[in-house]
Amino acid sequence: MIFNFITLSLFEELSKYNKVLLVDDLADSGKTLIDFMTLYNNLSSIITLPTITTACLFYKSKSQFKPDYYAEEIDPETWLVFPWENE
């Protein structure tokens, strides 16, 4: 796996903390959270990293990643449009 400077900088910054809450608006496919946690797991053997807890506003049961906390589980076919996505 190839890590770029920005990725390493982010994880170096995270290494300053003991615990981090990673928040996403939606766990739909789960890809974003899976990608982050894959990087986290690969880098944790190189540098000391904090404990990561995940949270999402909404979680779809079809997601490949189940966050530690979520506000609401929604039907996998529900399409959400968040206010910050409107222009």
Residue 5 confidence (pLDDT) above 70: no
| Per-residue pLDDT reduced to its tens digit, 70-81 | 999 999 999 888
- Interatomic CA distance for residues 9 and 34, integer angstroms: 19
What's the mean pLDDT when you consider all of the chain? 87
Taking the model in full, what pTM does it have? 0.82
Residue 6 confidence (pLDDT) above 80: no
The pLDDT of residue 9: 79
Domains of the chain in start order, with CATH, are: 5-85 (3.40.50.2020)
Q: Is 26 helix (H, G, I), strand (E, B) or coil?
A: strand
Within 1-87, residue ranges assigned H as helices are 5-14, 31-43
The beta-strand segments (E) located in the chain are 19-27, 51-60, 69-74
What average pLDDT score do residues 18-42 get? 92
Backbone phi and psi for residue 36, each to the nearest 5 degrees, phi listed first: -60, -50
Report residue 84 as tokens: 């910050």
Q: Which of 34-43, 53-62, 78-87 has the lowest mean pLDDT?
A: 78-87
